[in-house]
């Protein structure tokens, strides 16, 4: 297996996924590098039955969670201005920059697995089958979890609009 080709093909995907989880570009880069080091060490164990990108995302996710445990970082910490600016790099998917900020802010506070499934689907552009495989669940589970996350975001945005209209 050509690891150099794998690195070139998937580095950006893993990096963007880590940015969506960590909301910090420096941490995302560090975790992405560590992910590829771990992948290189264990490439012989990859049997090819799953998508390599899903395999890399699993390694990255586990590496990030280990990083958080070591640093005692919790998912519900308040976003800093720096983290918000990293998140706004992803607003190309959303028409309104202000709405995108509120969505990312809400995403940061969402409970798992909704947050991660939504990130894998939107930012990782993974199909439901691969998302389900990452979690050891079915594609139906991934689909339902994604739509529940999406519904939470829509309800949040509607509440924000109603609040703005009342002012």
Residue 76, pLDDT above cutoff 50: no
Helix residue spans in the chain (DSSP H): 3-22, 25-41, 52-71, 81-88, 97-109, 114-122, 128-135, 139-166
Chain center to CA of 85: 16
Two tokens, residue 140: 């139906």
Q: Contact at 8 Å (CB) between 103 and 94? A: yes
- The pLDDT tens digits for 32-46 are 889 888 988 888 787
The model's pTM is 0.49
pLDDT single digits (tens) 98-141: 666 777 778 888 888 888 888 888 877 788 888 988 899 898 89
pLDDT score at 87: 40
Q: What is the mean pLDDT of residues 73-99?
A: 45
Among 57, 60, 64, which residue's Cα sits nearest to residue 130?
Answer: 57
């Amino acid at each position: 297996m050509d690891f150099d080709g794998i690195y070139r093909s998937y580095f950006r995907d893993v990096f963007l996924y880590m940015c969506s989880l960590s909301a910090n570009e420096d941490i995302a880069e560090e975790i992405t590098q560590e992910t590829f080091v771990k992948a290189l060490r264990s490439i012989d164990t990859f049997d090819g039955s799953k998508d390599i990108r899903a395999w890399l995302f699993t390694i990255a996710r586990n590496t990030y969670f280990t990083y958080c445990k070591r640093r005692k970082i919790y998912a519900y910490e308040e976003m800093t201005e720096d983290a918000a600016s990293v998140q706004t790099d992803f607003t190309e998917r959303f028409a309104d920059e202000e709405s995108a900020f509120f969505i990312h802010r809400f995403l940061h506070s969402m409970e798992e697995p909704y947050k991660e499934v939504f990130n894998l689907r939107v930012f990782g552009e993974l199909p439901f089958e691969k998302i389900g495989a990452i979690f050891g669940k079915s594609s139906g589970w991934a689909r339902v979890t994604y739509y529940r996350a999406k519904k939470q975001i829509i309800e949040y945005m509607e509440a924000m609009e109603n609040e703005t209209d009342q002012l």
